[in-house]
Amino acid sequence: MAVRLTVAQAIIKFLTNQFSARDGRELRFFSSCFGIFGHGNVAGMGQALEQYPALPYVLSRNEQAMVHTAAAFAKMTNRVQAIACTTSVGPGATNMVTGAALATINRVPVLLLPGDTFAKRTVAPVLQQLELPHSQDVSVNDCFKPVSRYWDRINRPEQLLTALLEAMRVLTSPVETGAVTLCLPQDVQAEAYDFPEELFRKRVWIIPRPLADRRLLATAADWIKSSHRPLIIAGGGVLYSEASDALSKFASKTGIPVCETQAGKGSLSYNHAQQLGAVGVTGTPGANIAAREADLIIGVGTRYTDFTTASKTAFQNPAVRFININIAEFDSYKNVALPLTSDARTCIEELTFAAGNFHIKQGYAERITKYREEWEKEVDRIHAVRIGPPVSQGEVIGIVNEVSKARDVVVCAAGSLPGDLHKLWRTRDAKGYHMEYGYSCMGYEIAGGIGVKMAAPDREVYVMVGDGSYLMMAQEIVTAVQEGIKLNIILLDNHGFSSIGGLSRSLGNRGLGTDYRYRENGNYTGETLPVDFAANAASLGAHSVRARTGAELRAALLEARNRPETTVVVIETAINQRIADYESWWDVPVAEVSEQQSVRDARERYEKARQKERTFL
C-alpha cells in the first residue's frame, strides 16, 4: 500500500510515529517542532505542520535560540526525547549553525530541518541563494556538515526512505547522537510521492545498555583493589545513563571519593560522604589535590576537557593509571586508559560486585572527610560575604541556592557564573544542575530554561544569566510568555563581561572591550551605559523586579516562586569580586613578546605553569 503525500507531510507523519525505549519505558521521541517560517519552508513544512497537529508546532523568536531550547530539552530528558526545528533557507538556516555545534559538542539529539534552495535549479538564483562559480551543488546549508553527526540533502522524495531511518539511528544512539540535519529544498518539500505505508508505522528505537568486555572488567577490578588513592571523575555520562544511584552505592561501598565535571555535577548529592565537588579549573581544593595525588583515576562518562584536566596538569602522580567507563569508544581510550566501553550504570553495577570487599585505607578516608568539611566551611563563608550594593556574585548564588528546593533546576551557560556555580552550588538532585559548558554559548540561558521547563514542568527553573548573555538573546522571554512557560530569571548586572575581563587582566592586559561604557577620547573609559534591564524584561511580557540587596533578592525570589508567570529579577553585582581558583590552572597562552611589563610578567608565569602539562602514553 502507498500513501500519496508531499515530502514535508511525509516527514511530519513519520516523526509523530517514532518512539524511544530504555529499561522498558517507552516515550514518544519528538515532543514538538519549533519553527520560524519563510519562503523556503512555509509552503512545505508550514503546511504539513498545520495539517498534522499531532506534532505540536511552537513559534520561536530566533533560530539559534530554538535549537538551544531543543538541546536543553534533550539534555533534561537524558537524551530519550528530542525536538525538531524547521527554518527557511538562507539566514534562517545559518542562524541554526551555532545551535547545531552546541548540540553536537554536548552530544544531545536535535533534528534540524532547514529549507534549501531549489533542487530543480531552473529559477536560480533565488532569494538568499549562495552562488559559487565552481559548483551548483553547494548552498549555505553545507555549513552544517562539520557540526552535524548526520547530514543529508533531500533532492528527491524517495531519498526520505533511507534518510529518515538513518536520522533516527543517529538521534537515538548514545554514542553517535548530536545534531542531525536534513536539508529540504523548497520545491522538493512541496513535491508529492507515493510513499510506502510501512514508512509510517510505529517504530520503537531501543536505547541499549552495552556491557564492558569481560577481561577488561576483571582487569579494572584488579587495578581498583591494588590502588591506594583512587578517585572517580563523574561526567555527563553518569546522568545520561541514569547511574547516580549505582555510583552512590559503589562510592559508599569502596569509600572512593567522587569529583564532578560541569556536565556531571549532580551525579552525587553535595552532602554525600564521598562527594568532593567540582574538579579542574573550576574545582574545589580537595578535589584538585586528590586528582593531583591519585594513583588511579576512574573516569565515568567524561570527555576529559581542558577544564576537567586543568589543561593536562591535574594528574601529577608519576604512577597514575586511568580506567575509563564510557559508552563511546573514542572517549574510553583517552589518556591511554583501560577502556571499559559500555553503559555507565551497568558497568558501575558490575564493578561494585567485581571490586569485592575493597575499601580505601583509613588515612585516605580521613583526608577526604577533612577536605569535605573544609570546603563546606568555605562555601558558607563565600555565601555569607556581604558587600555593597552592588552585592557579590557568591552571595547571589547562595541566596538562589537557599530559596530553591531540592528538585528545582538552576540553568546557566557562560561568563563567570559557570565557574562559581560549579564550585558553590549545592546540588541535591541528579537533574538539579543544568550547565551548558561544552560550548559555553552566551545566549543559551533563557532559551535553555524553556527547554528544561518543557521537559520537567513540575520543577521550578532558575535561570542565572549575566547582562552580557542576556543582551544576546533576551527575546526568548516572549516565547516563554507566549507558551505559558514559567521561568525564574536572575539577571546579574555587572556592566560588562566579568569573566573575560578578569581573564584579560590575569594575562597582563587591561580588560579591553569587557566593560559596558561610553566611548570617551577614543577609548571605552566613559560612564557606565545606563541599560534598564527591568524595563526591558517588562516590555517583553515578564514580571520584572529590581533588587539592590541580598534581602531584596531573597524576597523577590520568594514572591516569584508563587507567581504563575515568568519573573525577571535584576540585581547589580560587583564585577571585580571574584571566587578564588583552587589548586588549579588553565592554559591560555600569553603574548610571547610585548612592550607591556604586565604582559611580560604574565608570560613568565605562564611558561612556569605549563611545565606541569603531561602527555599520557
Question: Model confidence at 374, in pLDDT bands (50, 70, 90)?
Answer: very high
Quick count: other Cβ atoms within 10 Å of Cβ 282? 25
Task: Please tell me the distance from the alpha carbon of residue 119 to that of residue 126, in angstroms, as a whole number.
Answer: 11
Mean pLDDT of 93-107: 98
What is the C-alpha to C-alpha distance for residues 327 and 168, in angstroms, rounded to an integer?
Answer: 18
* pLDDT tens column, 78-89: 999 999 999 999
Instruction: With cut-offs at 50, 70 and 90, classify the pLDDT of residue 578.
Output: confident
pLDDT for 29 equals 98
Q: Indicate if the pLDDT at residue 576 is higher than 90.
A: no
pLDDT for 499: 87
Residue 85, C-alpha cell as written in the block: 526545528
Inter-axis angle of helices 97-106 and 63-76, to 10 degrees? 20
Mean pLDDT of the chain: 97
All three cell numbers of 415: 561568563
Residue 575's pLDDT is 84
Q: Distance between CA atoms of 460 and 481, rounded to whole angstroms?
A: 15
> pLDDT at residue 388 above 90?
no
Q: What is the pLDDT of residue 577?
A: 81
Question: What is the reported pLDDT for 30?
Answer: 98
pLDDT for res 1: 87
CA distance 446 to 489: 8
Identify the three-state secondary structure at position 196: strand
C-alpha cell of residue 500: 573575560
Q: Can you say whether the dihedral through the CA atoms of 533, 539, 544, 548 is positive or negative?
A: positive
CA dihedral for 6, 12, 15, 17, sign (positive or negative): negative
User: What Rg, from alpha-carbon coordinates, does the chain have?
Assistant: 25
In b/e form, how buried is each residue of 537-569, taking b as 16+ CB within 10 angstroms?
Answer: beebebbbbbbeebebbbebbeebbeeeebbbb
- Summarised one tens digit per residue, pLDDT across range 323-367 is 999 999 999 999 999 999 999 999 999 999 999 999 999 999 999
Mean pLDDT, rounded, for 403-432:
97
- Report the SS3 class of residue 594: coil
Residues with Cβ within 8 Å of residue 491, at least 6 apart in sequence? 465, 466, 467, 470, 533, 537, 568, 569, 570, 571
What proportion of the chain, given as a percentage, has pLDDT over 70? 100
120: which 3 cell numbers?
Answer: 530543480
Domains of the chain are 2-206 (3.40.50.970), 214-374 (3.40.50.1220), 387-572 (3.40.50.970)
Question: In this predicted structure, what is the pLDDT of residue 447?
Answer: 98
| Half-sphere exposure (Cβ direction) of 98: Cα atoms closer than 13 Å | 16
**Strands across the sheet with 321-326, in order?**
275-278, 258-260, 230-234, 296-300, 321-326, 338-341
Q: How far is CA 451 from CA 34, 69, 266, in A?
A: 11, 4, 19
Give the model's confidence band at 604: pLDDT under 50 very low, under 70 low, under 90 confident, else very high: very high
Residue 446 in this model has a pLDDT that exceeds 90: yes
Q: How many CB atoms lie within 10 A of CB 69?
A: 33
For residue 24, name the pLDDT band (cuts at 50, 70, 90).
Answer: very high
**Residues whose CB is less than 8 angstroms from the CB of residue 474 and which lie 6 or more positions away in sequence, other chains included:** 446, 536, 537, 540
Q: In what order do the strands lie in the sheet with 18-22?
A: 25-28, 18-22, 203-206
**pTM of the full predicted structure?**
0.97
DSSP state of 397: H
On the question of a cis peptide bond just before residue 389, with omega within 30 degrees of 0, the verdict is yes
Q: Which amino acid is at 578?
A: R
H-run or E-run covering 106: helix 97-106
Separation between Cα atoms, residue 234 and residue 287, nearest integer Å? 12
CA distance 475 to 551: 29
Strands (E) in 347-473, as ranges, are 409-412, 433-435, 461-466
Read off the pLDDT band of 443 (50, 70, 90): very high
How does residue 459 score in pLDDT terms, banded at 50, 70 and 90?
A: very high
pLDDT tens across 213-246, in order? 999 999 999 999 999 999 999 999 999 999 999 9
Amino acid symbol at 488: N
How far is Cα 396 from Cα 390, in angstroms, rounded to an integer?
Answer: 11
The percent of residues above 90 in pLDDT, for the chain, comes to 95
Please give the span between the terminal C-alpha atoms of the chain, in angstroms, as a whole number.
Answer: 58
Which of the four pLDDT bands, split at 50, 70 and 90, describes residue 580? confident
Place of cell 521550578: 460
pLDDT band at residue 146 under the 50/70/90 scheme: very high
Name the band, by pLDDT with cuts 50, 70 and 90, for residue 290: very high
3-state secondary structure 248-291: HHHHHHHCCCEEECCCCCCCCCCCCCCEEEECCCCCCHHHHHHH
